[in-house]
Amino acid sequence: MRLLSVNVGRPHRSDHTDQAQGVTGIRKQPVEGPVAVAAPGPKGTGGSGLAGDSVCDLRHHGGNDQAVYAFAREDLDGWEAELGRPLPNGSFGENLTTTGVDVNGALIGERWRVGPDLLLEVCAARIPCLTFQGELGEMGVLPAKGGRPGAGGVKRFTRAAAPGAYLRVVEPGSIRVGDPVRVEHRPEHEVTVSFLFRAETLERELLPRILAAGDALHPEALAEARRYAGEHAS
């Protein structure tokens, strides 16, 4: 298990965001490194955990519980085959493109040692937003039916339930291409990244079951599950 690439993005103008300056950092490009990674601060003020990476809309992205986004090369390869077009590392806006790592099968609260120093904790699934939909459609990734950017691509992404994982930084460190990824802790519950994504999207009846992951969940997912469980208590 290792990093195939470390990817960062700079702000660029987009027609697919309502961010105040009309910019997004979703288009990530591989860099050689080393890249310093640290907790960026609370959501709303903290951006990306990776030095040199831009998170432009702090209302919805970034912060300690969305510090790093990981996506498996194996899943990119699957989309390449389905779409019939190349998808370079970073195509889904991920910071870390991995190989040999079961990103969507990772458990919430699972901890990864990346390189010698960095320790990350899996805490959330990537939920596609309008910017994700529009930008990836414009780049020819996950197009709508008929080849036009739009909701069709996001529906396909959602049905696949392989969204990649957001991670928080437990111990800061520097990383580079080729660094090993080692699972140092795996909790004893059923809540994988894929399970969480299904609960937050098409199978909301699963929401009470994600409470088994406890405080390792992104605080917003935890609050949503508690609210749903309360409303549907018998």
Type and span of the H or E element at 2: strand 2-8
Across 170-176, average pLDDT: 97
- Phi first, then psi: give them for residue 160, nearest 5 degrees: -65, -25
Query: Which region among 15-24, 81-90, 100-109 has the lowest average model confidence (pLDDT)?
Result: 15-24
Model pLDDT, residue 82: 82
143/211: higher pLDDT:
211
Nearest to 61 by CA among 15, 36, 93, 87: 93
Catalogue the E-assigned strands of 47-200.
68-72, 96-99, 111-114, 118-125, 165-171, 173-175, 181-185
Residue 33: which pLDDT band, with cuts at 50, 70 and 90?
confident
Structure token digits, residue 101: 């790592």
Give the whole-angstrom CA distance, residue 96 versus residue 207.
Answer: 27
Bond before 11 cis per omega within 30 degrees: no
Q: Are 27 and 88 in contact (CB under 8 A)?
A: no
Q: What is the mean pLDDT of the chain?
A: 86
Structure token digits, residue 174: 């520097």
Which residues are CB-contacts of 55 (< 8 A; sequence separation ≥ 6)? Answer: 25, 40, 47, 48, 61, 62
162/68: higher pLDDT:
68
Catalogue the E-assigned strands of 25-150.
29-31, 35-37, 68-72, 96-99, 111-114, 118-125
pTM (2 d.p.): 0.86
Model pLDDT, residue 145: 44
Residue 102: which pLDDT band, with cuts at 50, 70 and 90?
very high
Structure token digits, residue 143: 């197009």
Instruction: Check pLDDT > 60 for residue 130.
Output: yes
